[in-house]
Structure 1
Amino acid sequence: MGKSLLTIEDHQGIKIAAPEEIAYINGWIGKEELLISGEKYSKTGYGQYLLKVANGDIKY
């Protein structure tokens, strides 16, 4: 990922491309599936981000 995308992610606190998040927002997966993915990667920033999305801490 280019520096400019990382800068945007850092400043806005959102991920530019998170497939699970996109699937969740579009109704392709439910909250349970999103939580499972978040837990699977919970030791990474990406997993923590998915958990925040699932818990409603990140809103658009």
Structure 2
Amino acid sequence: MKKSIGTVHTFHGKETTIVIIYLGVGEDHEGAANWASNSPDILNVAVTRAKNRVIIVGNKKL
């Protein structure tokens, strides 16, 4: 399986089998975790790149 790593912008206009979205911020950087709710267009691009599966990894407390 070919693996690629990049930002949401890197994958704009492309598709892949699985997309893993890593929301990796510490509890002291809550503002950085808000990008998904503040930028629904970017989140939409991230989620719709996947053909089969989307995996979201992050701290549910944030």
Please tell me whether Structure 1 or Structure 2 has the larger radius of gyration of its CA atoms. Answer: 2
Greater share of strand: 2
Query: RCO higher in 1 or 2 (8 Å CA, sep ≥ 6)?
Result: 2
